[in-house]
A = this chain, B = another copy of it.
């Protein structure tokens, strides 16, 4: 048994239910006002998903409307809660509206690996539309707002809107590209390089959805959680972070990551953003 105390701890809480904030059909029910900027669930989906997709291809007004009218419930999930369970057969897919979510796999020894990190705009388990059975759990790495879109609606969309279908398909292939980048990092980079690479990736992914501030972004997780993303021990990750700090490449304090020297970091990590498909193209 090791690290990720917050995950372990909160995993036990699975008993009590999430608070559903609201469930909208056409998306016009007022929210609880948790954030002034976000008026309702559907609006949020449009903002964040359309921004994700719109970065990669242009969306027609009609298509934005379709996304907007997707039925979706938005709920808050507290940090550490596993809100989609391994082996389950979900009837809907989850879109991250705010916060960080992660896909997680457990081994018998109690070890755990976070196989993917998801930021606002990411459709975490869209693949469950096709795979049916979850091969991993999905956990809130920080407090999150999660929108839930029924598979029935998504399936209908695949029958009627080929272009949007291709864009959603694309989003799952971007996830796969990110998986491959992680595999390459885990296999052939030093932990320091691996962390640097991940920070470059997160910075760009967050910037697309407007979640960066200058050269900083909020990353409110513990070193133990980072260690589970990297597949290393928390102690080792701690030492690597100190080394990166000494290099003056990145700072991470008060839950804020600061990229001190983007070019240096990119070079050090051999980061090439191609795999994120951040350019707009007809798809």
Contact = CB atoms under 8 A, between A and B. Distances in A.
Given A179-B179, A180-B115, A180-B116, A131 B277 contact: yes
A152 interface: no
Nearest to A105: B184
A24 interface: no
Given A166-B158, A277-B133, A113 B188 contact: yes
Nearest to A174: B131
Contacts of A109: 188
Interface string A270-283: 10001101000101
A127 interface: yes
A176 interface: yes
A195 to B, nearest CB: 14
Given A162-B165, A182-B183, A173 B130 contact: yes
Given A116-B180, A188-B231, A165 B158 contact: yes
A253 to B, nearest CB: 26
Given A175-B176, A183-B231, A277-B132, A107 B169 contact: no
Contacts of A165: 158, 162, 165, 169
Given A158-B166, A165-B158, A169-B130, A187 B231 contact: yes
Contact of A169 (B115, B169, B281): B169
Contacts of A162: 158-159, 162, 165
B172 A173 contact: yes
Contacts of A127: 173, 176-177
Given A132-B281, A173-B176, 18 more contacts: A112-B188, A113-B183, A113-B184, A127-B177, A130-B170, A130-B283, A131-B173, A131-B277, A135-B177, A135-B181, A135-B274, A135-B275, A136-B180, A158-B166, A162-B162, A176-B176, A187-B230, A188-B231
6 A-B pairs with the lowest CB-CB distances in the bound complex, closest first: A187-B231, A179-B179, A135-B275, A176-B176, A127-B173, A130-B170
Interface of A: 87, 103, 105, 107-109, 111-113, 115-116, 127, 130-133, 135-136, 158-159, 162, 165-166, 169-170, 172-177, 179-184, 186-189, 230-232, 270, 274-275, 277, 281, 283
